[in-house]
Amino acid sequence: MYALGSSNFMKPMRFAGAGILGSDQLQNPDFYNWNKVFVRYCDGASFSGDAEGRAQDGSTLHFRGLRIYQAVIDELMEKGLNNATQALLTGCSAGGLATILHCDDFSARFSRDVSVKCLADAGFFLDVKDISGKRSFWSVYDGVVHLQNVREVLPKDCLANKEPTECFFPAELIKSIRTPMFILNSAYDSWQIRNVLVPVSSAPDKPWSSCKDNIRNCNSTQIKVLDASVSIAFRNTMVGAFKVVEDKEDWGLFIDSCFTHCQSLYGISWNSEISPRLGNKSIAEAAGDWYHGRSQGEKEIDCEYPCNPTCSGQLPP
């Protein structure tokens, strides 16, 4: 059984914290002494579903991610979050998507004099064709959107012109978000390369399996698929989606070219001697400067792989 989303199989939480959750001032200088709350995965739709569905055995499935998110935030507000002068909603992977989906709602719960911002890590999932030419990940999202009825969290201006599934992708979501946001993502996101660009159904052969395990194993043809101006270019699609952020002065970007996924939760990625650097800053430095307004225009997009020497092979895969 899969541990994520299952209270029967998930491992006990040891909240020592690392990366942005860490309490070490040297490693996490801007957020080390903040009150932190970790919310586990639980619903399979980034805390956005609210529906019942029928299983094959006839039993009823209850999808309540949206209600869970609302209940968690309501309880935290009652326990003192409503007294905060600064707040940051963040998450990685599906939690990064949840951050994007709920950023404005989270911000709206505070008075205007509170500094509320959001940091989405590795949640910028793309609607791209896989290497066989199929929109396989669209099919995954389409199933989630309709099974769990996620329309309530989707931007109404997007729904007025597009299909709900398209509005569930971050490239559309960010067009409607008003709250300041910092997007942290790899343009060679290892999870998306394995599961979106090169799913098993599109490339069951061994050469692609080796490439997906470690980008250093990719041959020149595979790198071209990942990087160059072919129709399914993954990096180009991601970078192009961020053009809408250029005019958002209070937003930040840290888009590196490292073969990794979820960088804010690991000290080695967040702020260490071998963490990725853009503009001569670690992720922690860039995110801290953005949040506290110490510098303007914290928007960095890395050059193409393998140009960045700070992309260590020791980063989480």
User: Are the C-beta atoms of 169 and 140 separated by less than 8 Å?
Assistant: no
List 127, 130, 189, 256, catalytic entry: 189
Q: How far apart are CA 274 and CA 260, in angstroms?
A: 14
List 46, 48, 93, 264, catalytic entry: 93
Catalytic annotation present for 261: yes
Closest CA to 118 of 94, 143, 101: 101
Q: Please write down the HEC assignment for all residues of the chain.
A: CCCCCCCCCCCCCCCCCCHHHCCCCCCCCCCCCCCCCCCCCCCCCCCCCCEEEECCCCCEEEECHHHHHHHHHHHHHHCCHHHCCEEEEEEECHHHHHHHHHHHHHHHCCCCCCEEEEEEECCCCCCCCCCCCCCHHHHHHHHHHHHHCCHHHCCHHHHCCCCHHHHCCHHHHCCCCCCCEEEEEECCCHHHHHHHHCCCCCCCCHHHHHHHHCHHHCCHHHHHHHHCCCCCCHHHHHHHHHHHHCCCCCCEEEEECCCCCCCCCCHHHHCCCCCCEECCEEHHHHHHHHHHCCCCCCEEECCCCCCCCCCCCCCCC
User: Are the C-beta atoms of 42 and 65 separated by less than 8 Å?
Assistant: yes
List 136, 261, 275, 282, catalytic entry: 261
CA-based max dimension of the chain = 57
Closest CA to 238 of 213, 256, 220: 256
Q: Which residues are catalytic?
A: 93, 189, 261
